[in-house]
Structure 1
Amino acid sequence: MGDDGTARLLGAADVRVLAERLGLRPTKKLGQNFVHDGNTVRRIVKAAGVGADDVVLEVGPGLGSLTLALLPAVARVHAVEIDPVLAGLLPSTVAERAPEQAGRLTVTGADAMRVTAAELAADAGPGQTAPTAIVANLPYNVAVPVLLHLLAELPGIERGLVMVQAEVADRLAARPGSKEYGAPSAKLAWYADARRAGPVPRAVFWPVPGVDSGLLAFTRQDPPAGADRAATFAVIEAAFAQRRKALRGALAGWAGSAAAAETALRAAGVDPMTRAERLDVHTFARIGAARL
C-alpha cells in the first residue's frame, strides 16, 4: 500500500518485471496491450464516475494496472480474464500491492464474449451484488461484441467507461446521420447512451499499439418500448450490410423481396428510399415490428 492507504500502482518497470517473471509475450490474438501509467488509470477511474457502492466488472485486467486503481474506489471488482496465467497472477499482485483491498477482488477465468451472469454470480459467492458498472481496457479486436454481450447478459450494469481503439469509440458513440454511424452504434443504442470521453496516448501502453485509443462512456437507457431485440438487430444488420443502398433494396433479402421491404417500411412510417444511416434504433425497432 502507499503511504496514503491507496494501492501501489504499476509503473512501466513493474509491468516489465511481472511480464518477465511470467515469461509473458503479449499476443495480438488476445489484444494484449498493458497500461503502465498511473495517471492514466486514475483518470479512467475518475471519469467512470464509480463510487463506494459500485461493483465493477473489469474485462481483461491483464497485469492489474487498472484493477489496482479501481479497488480503493469501489465496493468490489469482478475481473474476467481469458488468459489463465494472468487470471492466476492477479490475486497475488493485488495482495502484494493493496492487501487491505484484496478481499474486494473476484477473478473469473473466462471468455468475456461468452461469460454468463450465472458464472459471475457463482464465482462472487452468495449474497454478493451483481456488477453495476463496466470499467475496462477492452481487447481491441473483440471490443464491440464483448460490450454488447455484457450489456445483454447483465441488466444490472448501469454505466461504464471502456478503453477501445479510437475509431471504434467514434463508431460506438456516433449519432444517426454521421458517417461513423453504423450497426455497432445502433445496437449499442438499444442498451445505452454513449459518448466519447477523451483520447489515450499510445505511450501509456506496453507494447506500444499501432493504433490510437480512446475512452467511451455510456449510461444504460431503456430499449424501445415493446420492441423485440432479435427482430430489431436483424433489421439493423441487413440495413447496414448494404448501407449505400436505399432501404427498399437493402432490406429486400430480410423481407423476402423489395416490395415486401417497402410494405414494412411504409407501415413503420419510413420512406423506402431512406438509407440506414439516417435511422435511430427506435425506427429500426418499428421496422422490425412491422414485419412480425
Structure 2
Amino acid sequence: MADALLGPAEIRELAARLGVAPTKKLGQNFVHDPNTVRRIVAAAALTSDDVVCEVGPGLGSLTLGLLGAAAHVHAVELDPVLAAALPATVAERADVGKLTVHHADALRVRAGELAPAPTMLVANLPYNVAVPVVLHLLAELPSLRGGLVMVQKEVADRLVAGPGSKVYGVPSVKLAWYAEARAAGKVPPAVFWPVPNVDSGLVAFAARTPPAGADRRAVFQVVDAAFAQRRKTLRAALAGWAGGADRAEQVLVTAGVSPQARGESLTVGQFAAIAAAATGPGYGGKLSASGRRHEEVDL
C-alpha cells in the first residue's frame, strides 16, 4: 500500500493536470501526507470484508488507502471534475474494480444507490457540512456498523461530548442516538493542502440500537427545542414544543426528568423518554404548531 499512496508532489501534479484549485465553497482540503492516510485507515480498524462509504474523496489520497484494506469503496464526490478523474487515478495504483464513484451530493444519497451496502463510513469530511452528512448517512444507511471521520477539531469535540460538557449539544445527542462515539486523535493542519487555519480531529463511532419507545423524529424535535434555548430550564425551553410551560412540566414529570433541568444535562435516553411521554396516554400526541414545525428536521 505504501507505494500506492499519494504524496505532496503527486497531489499538486495531479491537481495541476486537472486544473483543480481547492475551494472553500466545497470545503476542500486535500490530505497529502501518506502517514496520515495510514493512520486513518488503521484507526478505522477495517476488515477485508468491509464496504466503505467515503465522502469527498477529492484527489484520491484516502481512497487509495481504503482500497488496500477493504473489500469495496463507494466514493461520493460532488465536484464533477474530481469524480470523473478518480477512477483513472486509482487504476494507476490500485484495483479499480473495488471502487464505485458516485457523482452526487452526500446529503442526497439513498441506501438503494450504494450496492454492495456500506458497512463503514470513513471520510475526510468537508468542514462546512460534516455534521449533516454524518447524521444523514447514519439515518439512511442502516447497514453501517461504524465509522471514522475526520472533521474540524471543534466539531469533533462536540460530536463526542457527553452530558454536562460545555460543548454537549444537538450534534452530540443526535449522534448518540445512532452510535457510541469517541475521540480518536488530533490531526495537524500541515498534512493538508491548502493548509487550514484549524486543527482537525478524528471521531470513531460504533453503531448501536437506538433507545426504545420513541420515534427518532419525535426525539429530535425535543432535542432541537431543548438546545434552541439551552440556558433555560426544560420547563421553559420546551414550552413552545409542548404547547405551554405547564404541559411541558407534565410531560417531563411523566418522563422522570426534572422540569428544572437543562438540556445539556440529559442523555439521549432521557430525551427519548420525554418524546415517548408526550405521545403517551393522557396526552394524545398533540403538539403545538411550533412543535409540528420541527417534524421536517432530521438533522
Q: TM-score range by the shorter chain?
A: over 0.9
Structure 2 Cα separation of the partners of residues 238 and 7 of structure 1: 51
Is this contact kept in 1: 2:213–2:276, CA < 8 A?
Answer: no
Structure 2 spans left out of the alignment, 5+ residues: 280-299
* Of 228, 235, 239, the match for 1:252: 239
Q: TM-score when scaled to structure 1?
A: 0.94
Counterpart amino acid of residue 251 in structure 1: L
* RMSD, matched Cα: 0.9
The structural deviation recorded for 1:291 is 1.2
Matching residue of 1:62:
58
Q: Which residues in structure 2 correspond to 1:28-107 (within 5 Å)?
A: 28-98=24-94, 101-107=95-101
Cα gap change, 1:7/1:148 in structure 2, threshold over 3 Å: closer, same or farther? farther
Q: 1:195 aligns with which of 182, 191, 194?
A: 182
Does residue 173 of structure 2 align to residue 186 of structure 1? yes
Which residue does the alignment assign to 2:104?
110
Match of 1:223 among 210, 225, 250: 210
- By how many angstroms is 1:283 displaced? 0.4
Equivalent residue for 2:296? none
Q: Which amino acid aligns with 1:179?
A: K
Aligned partners of 2:122 and 2:134: how far apart in 1?
11
Query: CA-to-partner distance for each residue in 1:134-164, whole Å, 9 max, x for gaps?
Result: 1100011100000000000000100110000
What is the percentage of aligned positions where both structures have the same residue?
70
Unpaired segments ≥5 residues, structure 1: 122-128
The 4+ residue runs of structure 1 with deviation greater than 2 A are none
Does the 8 Å contact 1:7/1:68 carry over to 2? no
Give the residue type in structure 2 aligned to 1:140: Y
Distance 1:7 1:190 in 2: 40
CA distance in 2, matches of 1:163, 1:181: 19
Q: Which amino acid aligns with 1:73?
A: A
Letter in 2 for 1:160: G
Checking the alignment, whether the CA contact within 8 Å between 2:213 and 2:273 is kept in structure 1 is no
Q: Does the Cα contact within 8 Å between 1:7 and 1:72 map onto a contact in 2?
A: no
Q: Matches of residues 208-287 of structure 1 in structure 2 within 5 Å?
A: 208-287=195-274
User: How is 1:3-22 mapped onto 2 (pairs within 5 angstroms)?
Assistant: 8-22=4-18
1:126 corresponds to which residue?
Answer: none
Deviation at 1:60, TM superposition (A): 0.3
Distance across 1 between alignment mates of 2:216 and 2:178? 10
- Alpha carbons of 1:78 and 1:7: their partners in 2 closer, same or farther (altered >3 Å)? farther
Of the candidates 96, 101, 125, which is equivalent to residue 138 of structure 1? 125
Q: Which amino acid aligns with 1:51?
A: T
Instruction: In structure 2, give the amino acid aligned to 1:109.
Output: H
Note the C-alpha offset of 1:226. 2.5
Letter of the 2:102 counterpart: T
Contact 1:6 1:72 in 2 (8 A): no
- What SS does the aligned partner of 2:220 have? helix
Q: Which letter does structure 2 place at the counterpart of 1:77?
A: V
User: Do 1:7 and 1:69's aligned partners in 2 also have CA atoms closer than 8 Å?
Assistant: no
Helix, strand or coil: the match of 1:97?
coil
> C-alpha distance in 1, partners of 2:113/2:16?
31
Q: 1:166 aligns with which of 129, 132, 153?
A: 153
Report whether the alignment pairs 1:177 with 2:173: no
Residues 226-273 of structure 1: per-residue CA shift (max 9 Å, x gap)? 320000000000000000000000001100111111011011011100
